[in-house]
A and B are shown apart, each in its own frame.
Chain A
Amino acid sequence: MIDIVRAEWTKLRTSPGTLALLVGVIVATVGVSAAASACSGTGCDADLPKLGLTGVQLGQAVVAILGVLVIGHEYGTGMVRVTLTAMPRRLHVLAAKAAVLAAVVAVAAVPAVAGAVAVSQLMLPDHNVVLRPAVGSVLYLVLVALLALGTATAFRSAAAAIGTILAVLYALPIVLAVVTDEEWRDRLRRMGPSTAGLAVQATTADAVTGPWKGLGVLALWALGALLVGAVLLHRRDA
């Protein structure tokens, strides 16, 4: 298992896009947070810690790319067969990929979220730094990456996987905004990976779901995607 983790780490480290994507996570998160913090007018002061973390909305897209590419690009090039020839214990390979990905995303997410908090603190000095939304945002990004990895493993196509992930992350909140039936909206918000997961950023009363419970919903999504991916990876011909 150590060898497999080491191999996957070498692979990720020597992939030319990785560094750019990790920098992208930081730039996207801090940049959009800064833009959102520049806001003035009604609604700006509703939930300042959350507003300062708006950039996570863009950062998650970059993180999803990274998660999808970790295995999706291997399917695209056919290199997955080289990988599975060298490391025939497929579930170990997926576990190693998940571990390496989670670590790398966490390493990028910490400065990204810290930067976003710092920038919004500079621009909106009258808000207190709250730890839970920041820590939760880091975990949120890690879980989105794992969700992307699981989906790409199941789909074996990077394009289909990223399309699905982005639809789930972005289209669901839009559908929610139009649904006026309270019961349906609450149900969907509690179940949606991004709507539930981002509840961890809220510092004002949010009746829909508790912050950690919401993150737990996202964790279940990620786990579910990884399990489906694992079963298919194990059973399918490569």
Chain B
Amino acid sequence: MITVNGLRKRFGATTALDGMTFTVDPGRVTGFVGPNGAGKSTTMRVILGLDAADAGTALVEGRPYRALRHPLRHVGSLLDASALQPGRTARNHLLWLAHSQGLGARRVDEVLERSGLQGVARRRAGGFSLGMRQRLGIAAALLGDPPALMLDEPFNGMDPEGIIWMRGFLRGLAAEGRAVLVSSHLMGELEDTADHVVVAGRGRVIADASVAQLLAAASGDRVTLRSHSAEASAVLAEAGATVTRAGDGVLSVAGLAAGDVVAALHRRGVAFSEVSAHRASLEDAYLELTRDAVEYRWESAS
């Protein structure tokens, strides 16, 4: 469990963190999203004791990170997969990390296997593709078998196959009861992965809610309709829908299901072509949140 409370940090004239507050609970994947520059990486660096916050606290299991004797046994992290010395082999990179946590070579072989790197363990890490480096970073994060994990943009540079692997992997970690924090600047990447989402903007939390809540709150279902008839708007409004013109002969209809739209138009004999139902996605909810830049938050369900 990771608790972030009222973090503030300035770099010169820029405010990086402006009261960032949230918690990462065990047993679920928490997505940490926001546009570039929202303060996601800085928050993670403060949690890991790399940067010092001007105000506020970041605690891992109730203790500041820098007070942990073997921190990788409490929280595993991956910030920058390329941050390794290229001349060292993957196995030796993990070996020194293991030694720093009082762990042995056996644990290194275990995490190599779990991240699917056993075949390349004795190759120089400098020759790895970005995807392989991500796996090596994951292996390092798992080294101490920590109850919490923190990954910064783990999907970056991964091929589709890798992304699928990563999603399953993260869900598996949460299923084991670990607290998992995953940052991304694309909400879509987290769609089928995260159970809970913290949306950040301008150094603070804009939204902190479960995925279900977010979807429900996003403006409901819409129907897109093609019709050149002038009556269409009036007919649908009469039927109780909100209609907006979305282009030449294209209408966007809210408040009526697709079937009801077709029935209403049919009853009045209005000609139309192409009706498509459109379900709100997490991406839509996120875009709406960050576009409005209005600060509001849901009461956390948990």
List chain A positions with a Cβ less than 8 A from chain B: 3-4, 6-11, 14-17, 73-74, 77-79, 81-82, 84-89, 237-238
Selected from A14, A77, A81, A89, the residue in CB contact (under 8 A) with B95 is A14
**A15-B99 CB under 8 A given contacts A3-B70, A88-B66:** no
Selected from B72, B85, B87, B92, the residue in CB contact (under 8 A) with A86 is B72
Looking at the assembled complex, report how far the CB atom of B102 sits from the nearest CB atom of chain A, in whole angstroms.
5
For the complex, what is the distance from the CA of A9 to the CA of B98, rounded to whole Å? 12
Closest to A74 in B: B85
Looking at the assembled complex, report how far the CB atom of B183 sits from the nearest CB atom of chain A, in whole angstroms.
16
**A3-B88 CB under 8 A given contacts A88-B65, A237-B45:** no
List chain B positions with a Cβ less than 8 A from chain A: 45, 48-52, 65-66, 68, 70-72, 77, 79-80, 82-89, 92, 95-97, 99-102, 124, 140
Determine whether the beta carbon of B95 is less than 8 Å from that of A3: no
Looking at the assembled complex, report how far the CB atom of B79 sits from the nearest CB atom of chain A, in whole angstroms.
6
Contacts of A78 in B (CB 8 A): 80, 82-83
Determine whether the beta carbon of B89 is less than 8 Å from that of A14: yes
Determine whether the beta carbon of A4 is less than 8 Å from that of B49: no
Closest to A4 in B: B100
For the complex, what is the distance from the CA of A87 to the CA of B49, rounded to whole Å? 10
Interface of A is mostly: helix
Contacts of A9 in B (CB 8 A): 99
Determine whether the beta carbon of B71 is less than 8 Å from that of A88: yes
Contacts of A16 in B (CB 8 A): 87-88, 124
- What are 21 residue pairs bridging A and B, where the CB atoms are less than 8 Å apart in the complex? A3-B102, A6-B100, A7-B100, A10-B92, A11-B88, A11-B96, A15-B87, A15-B88, A17-B87, A74-B85, A77-B83, A77-B85, A78-B80, A78-B82, A82-B84, A82-B97, A84-B49, A85-B50, A86-B71, A88-B68, A237-B50
For the complex, what is the distance from the CA of A204 to the CA of B95, rounded to whole Å? 50
Contacts of B87 in A (CB 8 A): 15-17
For the complex, what is the distance from the CA of A14 to the CA of B66, rounded to whole Å? 27
Determine whether the beta carbon of A15 is less than 8 Å from that of B85: yes
Contacts of A238 in B (CB 8 A): 45, 50-51
Determine whether the beta carbon of A84 is less than 8 Å from that of B50: yes
Closest to A76 in B: B85
Determine whether the beta carbon of A10 is less than 8 Å from that of B99: yes
**New A-B pairs, 6, CB < 8 Å, besides A14-B95, A78-B82, A81-B50:** A10-B99, A73-B85, A78-B83, A81-B79, A82-B97, A86-B72
Closest to B76 in A: A85
For the complex, what is the distance from the CA of A3 to the CA of B102, rounded to whole Å? 6
Contacts of A84 in B (CB 8 A): 49-50
Closest 9 CB pairs of A and B: A7-B100, A78-B83, A14-B92, A10-B96, A16-B87, A237-B51, A88-B66, A7-B99, A238-B50
Determine whether the beta carbon of A3 is less than 8 Å from that of B66: no
For the complex, what is the distance from the CA of A84 to the CA of B47, rounded to whole Å? 12
Determine whether the beta carbon of A77 is less than 8 Å from that of B84: yes
Looking at the assembled complex, report how far the CB atom of B143 sits from the nearest CB atom of chain A, in whole angstroms.
9
Closest to A87 in B: B100
